[in-house]
Amino acid sequence: MNSIKLSVFLSAILFSFSLTNTPARAQMVDPVSWKYSVAKVTDSIYVLQFTASIEPTWHMYSQFLPKDCPAVPLSFTFTQSPSFQRIDSVKEITVPHEEMDEMFGMKIKYFANEAVFAQRIKVLSKTAITITGELNYQTCDDKSCSLGGGDFSFTVDPGKTTAAQTDAVKKNSSEVEGPSDGSKKSLWALFWIAFGGGLIALLTPCVFPMIPMTVSFFMHEKDSKRKSIFKAFFFGASIVGIFTVIGTIVALIFGPGIANFLSTHWIPNVLFFLIFIFFAAWFFGMFELTLPNWMISRSDQQVDKGGWGGPFFMAFTTVLVSFSCTGPIVGTVLVQSAGGEILQPIISMLGFGLAFALPFTLFAIFPSWLQSMPKSGGWLNSVKVVLGFVELALGLKFLSIADQTYHWGILDREVYLAFWIVIFTLMGFYLLGKIKFKHDSDVPYVGVPRLLLAIITFSFVVYLIPGMIGAPLKALAGYLPPETTHDFDLRKVIRENAAVYSTQPQSPVSTICEKPKYADKLELPHGIQGYFDLDQGLSCAKERNKPVFVDFTGHGCVNCREMEARVWEDARVLKRLKEDYVVVALYVDDKTIQLPESEWITSTYDGKVKKTLGKKNQDFQITRFKQNTQPQYALLNTNGDLMIPTRSYDLDVDAFIDFLDRGIAEFAKQTK
């Protein structure tokens, strides 16, 4: 962009003030033509898109210019109306050019050829409305400048918003907060991504132990081989159908909050904990699990009629119990469903359900793999008992989630580890034949498989023991309570003593501006000082002239703990977080911190009033970043604007460092 003569620039401004509004502007040189379009996002949320076509050799200035710049920035003025409400400000979808202007002696942002802008609104009327306002902007070329503008008008009417128009506008508006997977990937790609998510879900602690229950159920079926296979396929199809139909319907009715409820609320988590304890007692031989007489009678009637209720009920139970672990994985799909996208979540849930149902169906088809083995005693009962120990250990995870979310303080990290050490020690002795249960056969000698399993078990116990004095145990970071709940951390004591006796100059005790709100209940890992309220963090960022690192996290977030243990703990990452950023941790699942009424918000997403810190943070993540899964990391400037695309779970330390460095560089560029 070449510089302009100051006299020409000032003349253009003076000339514009000598003219009346719209008629005079029509006589001026205006190298910009505008097009307007509307897209429906949900029943009440719409996107207004402004598309500017700029003639060659001309450029139009951005909305965001340096404070002391004499150029006229682009502005959008909306006529106020009770029929709609703006959500945030007008976003620049097209990335502006930025160059040093010789005349002004500063860097200036501008657009050339074409520029797209988007404004999200919430419609408060049930009938069609007209939204009006005024544009003002300045354009320049090598010889002259011109002030342009005029009125704009949008008619928001769902019946006249075509599918093509909606897709085009939504594709552009999605770039406001970074590209979304759904707008860039085909349905096939979406299907295979969801399929991979289903395979991963099988390895979660509340899914894998369900497989032997399925085997036990189909081992008691007395149908012909052909009918058993059909029932097994029906069982698998039921799982797929439940995930696809129920998941989509729940999303449309309840929105994405239902996934958060099932994965973090104390009622489902305590219930799942009790279910796992119940299953463990069953595997230990405390009782025989039999159905009630009325259920057996109905089941027999269904068998006589060729009924299919049993397999469907088993499939429904499998999905229900596993949903606490699968909820975060399908969370993004639920957001899309609640936002009005129907085909994408159906395809995604179909792929997820198929992968999830695959091993269950195979075991259901071939229950004879275990049926030919001894039904009591022997290796089969040993497998059940070992699974009982595993169920007992994994069940603690659910209680831990409720404990962390509600700050009960009954299952801190060292208590959790103590339970695991005892449980797996007893499991090791059992494998060596030193402990016997009710249905166990005598173990005259220890076979090689049992010995190998015992070695693995005791090795795992040895690995756990240092965790009692603060070892990070990175391999289990996602399953253990956070290190901040540990009462005695030897590493922390050593660091503190080293700092006391060190002759080297120490860094300031505090790197934050004021005492963080909610610090009595919330804490950041690895000694990082930061905030748990975004406004407080932004205020400190302005005072310290630093960018903001926003961490969308949760007490029950497995991937968050793993990122903190395996990525954040890296010295290079910690240095950047502690020295170059103001860190703000936004817990989306906290249930106990009630907000004062002055801080309540009414969601623009679901229209509900958010009265707790967790719900407010969750709503902010959904409305601002179109995501409700954690962790999600966003780098903001002091005005709260996103500087670069967000980042989610990824254990690549070097890539995370690059993410932080790009944010630092962008902040330096914006503040020059």
Burial readout 124-151 (b: 16 or more C-beta within 10 A, e: otherwise)? eeeeebebebebbbbbbbeeebbbbbee
Pair (59, 199) in one structural domain? no
Give 322's contacts (C-beta < 8 A, 6+ positions apart).
201, 204, 206, 207, 210, 356
Helices 247-254 and 331-338: angle between axes, nearest 10 degrees: 60
The per-residue pLDDT for 290 is 53
Asked if 15 and 156 sit in the same domain, the reply is yes
Q: What is the pLDDT of residue 246?
A: 64
Residue 300 is predicted with a pLDDT of 46
Position 28 confidence tier, pLDDT thresholds 50, 70, 90? very low
Per-residue pLDDT at 172: 43
Residue 581: per-residue pLDDT: 94
User: What distance in Å separates the CA atoms of residue 195 and residue 210, rounded to the nearest whole number?
Assistant: 19
pLDDT grade, residue 72 (50/70/90)?
Answer: confident
pLDDT at 19 over 70: no
Instruction: Give SS3 for 152.
Output: strand
For the segment 232-249, the average pLDDT, to the nearest whole number, is: 77
- The whole-number pLDDT of residue 423 equals 96
pLDDT greater at residue 541 or residue 6: 541
Helix (H), strand (E), coil (C) string for 404-433: HHHCCCCCCHHHHHHHHHHHHHHHHHHHCC
Rounding to the nearest 10 degrees, give the CA dihedral for residues 238, 271, 335, 562: -110
10 lies in some domain: yes
Task: Name the more confident of 132 and 590.
Answer: 132
| Lowest mean pLDDT across 54-63, 158-167, 358-367, 601-610 | 158-167
Whether 240 and 385 share a structural domain: no
Residues 290 and 230 in one domain: yes
Q: How many Cβ atoms are within 10 Å of 220's Cβ, its own excluded?
A: 9
When mean pLDDT is compared across 102-111, 202-211, 299-308, the lowest value belongs to: 299-308
Which amino acid does the sequence have at 425? T
- Locate tokens 């340096």: which residue? 66
Fill in the DSSP letter of residue 440: P
Q: What percentage of residues in the chain have a pLDDT greater than 90?
A: 20
Residue 166 sits in the same domain as residue 100 = yes
Which of 488, 503, 518 is where one domain is finished? Answer: 503
In this structure, of 296-305, 424-433, 484-493, 645-654, the range with the lowest mean pLDDT score is: 296-305
pLDDT at residue 269 above 70? yes
Percent of the chain with pLDDT over 70: 69
pLDDT at residue 80 is higher than 90 = no
pLDDT higher at 79 or 591: 79
Task: Return the pLDDT at 478.
Answer: 66
**Average pLDDT, integer, range 328-335:** 51
**pLDDT score for 625:** 85
Residue 218 predicted with pLDDT over 70: no
Which of 44-58, 198-212, 298-312 is the least confident region?
Answer: 298-312
pLDDT of res. 219: 53
Same domain, 316 and 428: no
pLDDT band at 664 (very low <50, low <70, confident <90, very high): very high
Check which CATH number belongs to the domain holding 63 and give it: 2.60.40.1250
Quote the DSSP letter at residue 567.
I
Higher pLDDT, 303 or 119: 119
pTM, rounded to two decimals: 0.50
User: Which of 177, 208, 229 is a domain's end point?
Assistant: 177
Torsion from C-alpha of 609, 610, 611, 617, nearest 10 degrees: -170
Identify the residue with better confidence: 400 or 672.
Answer: 400
Question: Does any domain span residue 347?
Answer: yes
Does 518 map to a domain?
no
**290 DSSP 8-state letter:** -
DSSP secondary structure letter of residue 643? -
Mean pLDDT, rounded, for 299-313? 55
- Give the 3-state DSSP-derived string for 82-133, with helices as H, strands as E and coil as C: CCEEEEEEEEECCCCEEEEECCCCEEEEEECCEEEEEEEEEECCCCCEEEEE
Residue 98 belongs to a domain: yes
pLDDT tens, residue by residue, 169-197: 444 444 333 333 433 345 676 678 778 77
Tell me the per-residue pLDDT of 440-465, one tens digit each, with 9 for 90 and over. Answer: 777 788 889 899 999 999 999 999 99
User: For residue 329, is pLDDT > 60?
Assistant: no
One domain for residues 324 and 394: no
- Nearest residue to 623 (alpha-carbon basis) of 555, 552, 524, 531: 552
Averaged confidence pLDDT in the chain: 76
Residue 95 CB burial class (10 angstroms; 0-12, 13-18, ≥19): exposed
Looking at residue 199, its pLDDT comes to: 77
Both 308 and 190 in a single domain?
yes
In angstroms, the CA 553 to CA 584 distance is 10
Torsions phi, psi of 505, nearest 5?
Answer: -60, 135
Confidence of residue 157 (pLDDT cuts 50, 70, 90): confident
- Domain assignment present for 483: yes
How many Cα neighbours within 13 Å face the side chain of 236? Answer: 20
Tens digits of residue pLDDT in 516-563: 999 888 889 888 999 999 999 999 999 999 999 999 998 877 788 888
CATH number of residue 649's parent domain: 3.40.30.10
H and E: helices and strands count for the chain: 24, 17
- Residue 3 confidence (pLDDT) above 90: no
User: Which two tokens mark 500?
Assistant: 């006391």
Domain count along the chain: 4
Residue 618 lies in a domain: yes
Mean pLDDT of 432-439: 86
The answer to whether residues 468 and 539 belong to one domain is no
Task: Indicate if 532 and 629 belong to the same structural domain.
Answer: yes
User: Is 650 a domain residue?
Assistant: yes
Range of the domain at 327: 185-372
**Cα–Cα distance list, 589 to 193, 405, 533, 574, 593 (Å):** 26, 7, 14, 25, 10
The answer on pLDDT for 331 being more than 80 is no
Sign of the torsion angle spanned by Cα atoms 516, 521, 522, 526: positive
Taking alpha carbons only, the member of 661, 670, 648 closest to residue 179 is 648
Contacts for 647-651 with beta carbons within 8 Å, 24 or more apart? 649/559, 649/562, 649/563, 650/567, 651/562, 651/563, 651/566, 651/567
User: Last residue of some domain: 324, 356, 372?
Assistant: 372
Indicate whether 169 and 193 sit together in one domain.
no
Question: What is the arithmetic mean of pLDDT over 118-139?
Answer: 88
Alpha carbon distance 356, 325 (integer Å): 12
Residue 509 in any domain: the answer is: no
Task: Assess whether 572 and 646 both reside in one domain.
Answer: yes
What integer is the mean pLDDT of 210-237?
66
